[in-house]
Amino acid sequence: MNKTFNDLNLNLNIIEGLKKQGITDPTLIQAESIIPALENKDIIGEAFTGSGKTLAYLLPIFHKIDTSKREMQAIVLAPTHELALQIEAQIKLLANNSSVPVTSLCIIGDVNINNQIKKLKEVKPHIIVGSTGRILDLIRKKKVTAHTIKTIVIDEADNLLDPKRAAITKDIIKTTMRDRQLMVFSASIKLETLETAKELMKDPVIIKSEDKPAMNPNIEHMLFVCDRRDKFETLRKILVAVKPEKAIIFVNDHEDIELTTVKLNYHSKDCFAMTGKISKEDRKLAIESFRNGKIKILVSSDVTARGLDVEGVTHIFHLDLPLKINEYLHRAGRTARGNAHGTSICIATVKQLNIIKKYEKDFNIKFHEKKVFGGAIEDSNYHSEQKQEKAKSKSYNNKFDKSKFHN
Ligand code: AMP
């Protein structure tokens, strides 16, 4: 039988608060991780994108925080500023709805550090959410009291424990007490991340559904094959055909992001270019406008869209395929949040079909090959036809060669 939030031993006011948010039953990752988290166990949790992993770690933190103390008790580390802001928004929402007086502060880089120091002093937040560099800086300046921290969460762990970034994350962990709890979550936990996490933990509970990273089953994967120079035109035609309510178009290069946006806006699509060049404030405003529907399409790189939780994103487009295989999982995961369904569309060249095969194999998914015909989306068997053609010409060549041989 499915577990309820009551079965998970959470405080009643938290359960009531969740109800106000329309959340009545735990998701799988919540059902499996909340009890060990309440028992202060270290946890490594892998759950597909949009499956409620934020609340999987926030609910036990809420339950355990001693609100009678004005003391920093938990740190949540996130790889991007947008994700940190989103997590903090979830904390504020739940604190409000459950009337549990948990306080929080978002600490990210590129923001005036003196103002952050002032706020830390004023609020003495129970939970600090933010990026690793600035948090470590503030711990070293003794503005974040590492010795009072009971729980550290590493969200998007495959990113924060990546060999390039792991050192700074480890430095933060080392400043805290030995008996603090460590929880590590991600949509995809690589073997190497698992090993790094284990080194930092005591006898962790590992919640990992299968050997393969779990792709959200509510996502349909489509493939459009075309020449490289026809990619934009293919995208434009698909957009006309599917009329997405909200979409994110992934493009790898910053200049191409701008160019794609300009061209789409010329075709009167409400697009915004999320490049690393725009200011933090503008990025925040753009995400807000995307959330409330004023902007319908974001054209973005992987960096600015990782972890983004925006309700109602119906389509993800990969005008460029991601540079790393695993990134496909994170990109596609920007759609089908909660119980919703969504579509992830790759626009690929024939040469890139081997990468599509790899996604199918690694994530245990199937791409449906499509084409745009007469303004509508239709099934296509472009590359299976190609394969047949190749097979035919091969057997013809063989016969031809054989006949020559016999003569
Ligand atoms: P996350 O995977 O944490 O980014 O969550 C994805 C979305 O699912 C968020 O918008 C959450 O508010 C929502 N969510 C989290 N837990 C539940 C639940 N138990 N039932 C329904 N929706 C949920």
Do 117 and 40 form a contact (C-beta atoms < 8 A)?
A: no
pLDDT-derived band at 403 (thresholds 50, 70, 90) equals very low
Q: Which of 208, 238, 267 is the last residue of a domain?
A: 208
Regarding whether 227 and 199 lie in a shared domain, the answer is no
Last residue of a domain, one of 208, 230, 262: 208
Residue 76 CB–ligand 1 contact under 6 Å? no
386 domain-assigned = no
Question: Is the same domain home to 35 and 174?
Answer: yes
* Ligand 1 center–CA 167 separation, angstroms: 30
Considering only CA atoms, which residue is closest to atom 14 of ligand 1? 52
Range of the domain at 202: 5-208
Any domain includes 201: yes
Structure tokens belonging to residue 78: 């996130």
Q: Do 363 and 266 share a structural domain?
A: yes
pLDDT in tens, 25-67: 999 899 999 999 999 999 999 988 888 999 999 999 999 999 9
Pick the range with the lowest mean pLDDT from 190-194, 211-215, 238-242, 375-379: 211-215
pLDDT digits (tens, 9 = 90+) for 134-181: 999 999 999 999 999 999 999 988 889 998 889 999 999 999 999 999
* Nearest one of 356, 319, 332, 354 to 230, comparing CA atoms: 319
Q: How many domains does the chain have?
A: 2
One domain, residues 118 and 261: no
Asked if 149 and 63 sit in the same domain, the reply is yes
Asked if residue 407 is part of any domain, the answer here is no
Q: Nearest C-alpha to atom 1 of ligand 1 is from which residue?
A: 52
Per-residue pLDDT band at 281 (split at 50, 70, 90):
confident
Are residues 182 and 249 both part of a single domain?
Answer: no
Locate the ligand 1 atom nearest the alpha carbon of residue 49 and give its number.
2
The strand ranges marked E within 160-213 are 181-186, 205-207
What backbone torsions phi and psi does residue 299 show, to the nearest 5 degrees?
A: -105, 120
Residue 221: strand pairing partners: 344, 367
pLDDT level of residue 399 (50, 70, 90 thresholds): low
Last residue of a domain, one of 139, 173, 208: 208
Instruction: State whether 179 and 225 are in the same domain.
Output: no
Residue 368 lies in a domain: yes
Determine the distance separating the centroid of ligand 1 and the alpha carbon of 137, expressed in angstroms.
31
For the Cβ of 134 lying below 6 angstroms from any atom of ligand 1, the answer is no
Atom in ligand 1 nearest the alpha carbon of residue 309: 4
Q: Are residues 150 and 65 in the same domain?
A: yes
What is the pTM (predicted TM-score) of this model?
0.78
Task: Dig out the tokens for 202 from the structure.
Answer: 């005591």
> Which residue's alpha carbon is nearest to atom 11 within ligand 1?
52
Q: Provide the pLDDT for residue 230.
A: 96
CA of 51 to the centre of ligand 1 (A): 6
225 with 157, same domain? Answer: no
CA dihedral 53, 57, 63, 65 (to 10 degrees): -140
The answer to whether residue 105 sits within a structural domain is yes
396 part of a folded domain: no
Average pLDDT, stretch 82-94?
94
Residues 200 and 279 in one domain: no
Rounded CA gap, 329 and 363, in Å? Answer: 8
